[in-house]
Amino acid sequence: MDTLSEDFLKELECPVCLEYMMPPITMCESGHNICDCCRPKLDKCPTCRQPFLNVRNKALENVAWKLQYPCCYKSTGCSMLLQPKLMDEHQLACPYRPYKCPLSKAESIMCEWVGALAGLKEHIETKHRNRLTDIAHGKEVVIRRYRSECKFSRVIFAYDEIFYQQFEVIDNVFYFLIQHIGPENYGSKFQYNFTLETYGSSEYVSLAFVARSCKVDIKDIYRSGQCVKLFFETVKNFLNERGDFKFEFHIRKL
């Protein structure tokens, strides 16, 4: 980055969060600027205590549109410089974006590991081997004496990608989902199929859904119905006399 660009970026530092401001940029009565994220949180300018104007600093915005900004994941290793219009798309897929271990969602584990996607696979293989299923495409699962009060969580390796699987019963409703661990715009490239079949194979239920991103809250997926969602009374019809629960799931690339 040249010195002139660095000087301009210094002027674009938000006085509150110290991140670089991108359009829209608003200002106070004295002419101090603030970023679009911090503006709704404040009643007065943090620099001079004057009220904010409902006016955008168009001159500064025009300069900002022409500058190249460092990725917000610069501190974790990203060296990309991009114009504001390209930043959102890049940051969704940035390989240096930090990810939580998917088993942070598992109540019995609640792993606190956070790191780049490139290191996640090794972390899971090293620390959570007993919660890992490595498959080519699909898997038959049998849970002996299934108990509806338990929540089941696993990590799936398939297509050289990482997925998170969870199923549980809440308020007499059975939920099953698989999420893709990676950029938000990449999960839609995978579909999972869930199949229940009676032990005599006379009845079955089969449902398929797109694997949503791990960045989407699981409760939001449950509420939207974008996952397997069955009355538990229906699921119980597929347990055998010992209470064993058998199902199959498949992951395929779209």
> At CB < 8 A and 24+ separation, what contacts does 219-225 make?
221/177, 221/179, 222/170, 222/175, 222/177
CATH of residue 57's domain is 3.30.40.10
Tokens of 131: 């919660």
- The phi, psi pair for 11, rounded to 5°, reads -70, -20
Residue at a domain's end among 41, 68, 93? 93
- 244 shares a domain with 139: yes
Task: Check residue 5 and give its pLDDT.
Answer: 67
- 134 shares a domain with 241: yes
- 227 shares a domain with 144: yes
| CA end-to-end span of the chain | 40
Task: Check residue 157 and give its pLDDT.
Answer: 96
The residue ranges of the chain whose pLDDT is under 50 are none
**Do the bridges between strand 173-181 and strand 212-213 make them parallel or antiparallel, or are there none, so unpaired?**
parallel
Task: Check residue 1 and give its pLDDT.
Answer: 53
99 contacts: CB under 8 Å, gap ≥ 6: 114, 115, 116, 117, 120, 181, 214
Element (H or E) spanning 125, and its range? helix 117-127
Task: Check residue 11 and give its pLDDT.
Answer: 82
- 142 shares a domain with 84: no
Q: Which residues, listed in sequence order, are joined to residue 28 by a DSSP beta bridge?
A: 52
Task: Check residue 187 and give its pLDDT.
Answer: 58
Q: Would residue 55 count as lying in a domain?
A: yes
- Residue 107 burial (CB < 10 Å; 0-12/13-18/19+)? exposed
Distance, CA of 159 to CA of 172 (rounded, Å): 34
Task: Check residue 3 and give its pLDDT.
Answer: 60
Task: Check residue 159 and give its pLDDT.
Answer: 93
Q: List b or e across 169-197, with b for residues whose CB sees 16 or more CB atoms inside 10 angstroms.
A: beeeebbbbbbbbbbeeebeebebbbbbb
Distance, CA of 232 to CA of 178 (rounded, Å): 19
CA distances from 140 to 85, 162, 204 (A): 45, 18, 14
Task: Check residue 185 and give its pLDDT.
Answer: 66
This prediction's pTM:
0.73
- How many structural domains are present in the chain? 2
Q: What letter represents residue 153's amino acid?
A: S
Q: Please give the residue range of the domain that contains residue 61.
A: 3-93
Q: Would residue 110 count as lying in a domain?
A: no
